[in-house]
Amino acid sequence: MTEHAGGGVKYEWSEGMAHPITDPFNTLQKPYPIQSDCYSMDDMSMALGRVVNWITNDGNFHKRGVYNRAMTLGFVLQSPNLELNSQAELGRKLNLSRSQTNELVRSFTDSFGVNDPSQRVHK
């Protein structure tokens, strides 16, 4: 890559391709530091693929099942917009029995190893 006198754009490399690290909407207060504890683009792509596969039940999905798994994902990640404070509330919202609700939550937490809030953000 040829750079001009003012410097060049910072890149992160993934699968042999350079992806610019940009902030087109100027949302970052300071330049984005590339840190060793950050996830790479490959890691994020693989994680997103695993979540999508879980939500769609590995392609064996029905509309209601996708909805139930998506709501469970939001509940486990503690989305404040869902206004759900317990698995019982999740079950009532999804019109599922306690055992069905428990199985959905257990399926997600077992699949992704999410047991407590401290594991949800950091490596």
97-107 confidence digits (pLDDT tens) = 999 999 999 99
25-39 confidence digits (pLDDT tens) = 665 565 556 666 677
- Helix, strand, coil shares of the chain as percentages rounded to 5? 50, 10, 40
Higher-confidence position of 114 and 102: 102
1-50 confidence digits (pLDDT tens) = 444 445 555 667 777 777 766 655 665 565 556 666 677 778 888 888 99
Q: What is the pTM of this model?
A: 0.61
% of the chain residues with pLDDT over 70: 68
What is the pLDDT confidence band of residue 119, given thresholds at 50, 70 and 90? very low
The tokens of 33 are what? 């530091």
Least confident of 39-43, 58-62, 66-70: 39-43
Geometric angle at alpha carbon 24, from 20 and 25, rounded to 5°: 150
